[in-house]
Amino acid sequence: MNDLYDRHRAVLPDWLALYYEDPLEITHGEGRYVWDAEGRRYLDFFGGILTTMTAHALPEVTKAVSEQAGRIIHSSTLYLNRPMVELAERIAQLSGIPDARVFFTTSGTEANDTALLLATTYRRSNTILAMRNSYHGRSFSSIGITGNRGWSPTSLSPLQTLYVHGGVRSRGPFAHLDDDAFVAACVEDLKDLLGHTRPPAALIAEPIQGVGGFTSPPDGLYAAFRDVLREQGILWIADEVQTGWGRTGEHFWGWQAHGRSGPPDMLTFAKGIGNGMSIGGVVARAEIMNCLDANSISTFGGTQITMAAGLANLNYLVEHDLQGNARRVGGLLIERLRAAAAGLPGVREVRGRGLMIGVELARPGTDEADPSAAAAVLEAAREGGLLIGKGGGHNTSALRIAPPLSLTVAEAEEGAAILEGALRAAY
């Protein structure tokens, strides 16, 4: 029996969502593989989006972290902090946002909270536009802008949130339209919404929805929204917590697929940039970042040890062109999965970009979500030695594939074969 699971249940909240009937304890990892407490090895097709953007136990990051731990970890903000300045310089330059300022936090939730604080203060409005099926975090304010019932444990909120269509291409009222008509319909819907409300502070959106099941709108949707938003001075915040750092292959940031009208006013980031060390943050134009007129600091946001990890990880990512790797290996993986899916009646869609791939399941012959098949595929993949994720607002019917960005072609082949077997077993 799983003694650790019994102890977990006795002392931790019921609402921590563990994967698998018999939950897994991961004890160590290397590259794209992890091992469980019984010594079984798994190819990790999900850890890349969670913590391990680059590779498990990357020696460059381990060295930077241990050296920094042996030197100093002190207040991140009360004294000059060289690694924080250096990482902020790099991120400001990479962000594409002009006159960019960076504020570091410890999580994506806190990054989005900060973006909301800035937007609402700057605009003197607590109305926020958010996308249906979105996920932005677990704090009181970020729950309020999360449009996914399964991840919204309260309906109370300090914000007035209006939900916008468009984040999900293949379901919803406009799904039957072609891309141009889809964008036009979403824009009309947004205009209609704006006609009935006080001026919102901002629109926040994930360029590709993560928890929502790796769904993406047609390229350019957010640029089209932007044209409308600009007329009222409404800000656009790109939540790049899952889409940043080259994961989508073609672009370094997810917003670049919508870049016709320029970079967002703010972007938020988190998750794997520290390759496991907790880094989050906001990048904003200086006039927006500096709109706060009281102190607002974070004890651990930007601490020397996480910044050292972030710098080492970012250097590795750029020097090894992991964005290019995501494009090449991710492209092959998508092709391979589409070929496998062609013979499987329960696979409704294989979608994605780079190493951010969603496989949406439906009851064979219908459009109905199939959460039990998704759960069964997850279990079967684990049996076969592969870890994947699930997501999607429609009863969690999408499989999520997001390996570390250093995935090799051989590993992509190995994972695709295991996943194909798991899909076949489920149908």
Chain positions contacting ligand PMP, by CB under 6 A? 107-109, 112, 135-137, 206, 210-211, 239, 241-242, 270, 280
**CB neighbour class for 203 (10 Å; exposed up to 12, middle 13-18, buried from 19):** buried
Residue with smaller CB distance to ligand PMP, 255 or 373: 255
SS (H, E, C) 28-91: EEEECEEEECCCCEEEECCHHHHCCCCCECCHHHHHHHHHHHHHCCCCCCCCCCHHHHHHHHHH
Phi first, then psi: give them for residue 11, nearest 5 degrees: -125, -15
In angstroms, what is the minimal distance from the CB of 72 to ligand PMP?
25
d(CA 67, CA 409): 33
In angstroms, what is the minimal distance from the CB of 188 to ligand PMP?
26
d(CA 261, CA 147): 25
- 276: Cα separation from own chain's centroid: 15
CA angle 421, 423, 425 (to 5 degrees): 70
Residue with smaller CB distance to ligand PMP, 136 or 327: 136
Q: Which residue is nearest to ligand PMP (CB)?
A: 108
d(CA 204, CA 212): 15
Residue with smaller CB distance to ligand PMP, 17 or 80: 17
Residue with smaller CB distance to ligand PMP, 101 or 136: 136
In angstroms, what is the minimal distance from the CB of 410 to ligand PMP?
29
Residue with smaller CB distance to ligand PMP, 146 or 397: 146
Beta-bridge partners for 41: 35
What does the CA dihedral 115, 131, 136, 100 come to, rounded to 10 degrees?
-30
In angstroms, what is the minimal distance from the CB of 178 to ligand PMP?
27
In angstroms, what is the minimal distance from the CB of 380 to ligand PMP?
24
Residue with smaller CB distance to ligand PMP, 2 or 256: 256
Residue with smaller CB distance to ligand PMP, 282 or 326: 282
Residue with smaller CB distance to ligand PMP, 186 or 241: 241
SS (H, E, C) 200-268: CCEEEECCCECCCCCECCCCCHHHHHHHHHHHCCCEEEEECCCCCCCCCCCCCCHHHHHHHHCCCCEEE
In angstroms, what is the minimal distance from the CB of 190 to ligand PMP?
20
In angstroms, what is the minimal distance from the CB of 378 to ligand PMP?
17
In angstroms, what is the minimal distance from the CB of 280 to ligand PMP?
6
Q: Is the dihedral of CA 248, 252, 253, 255 positive or negative?
A: negative
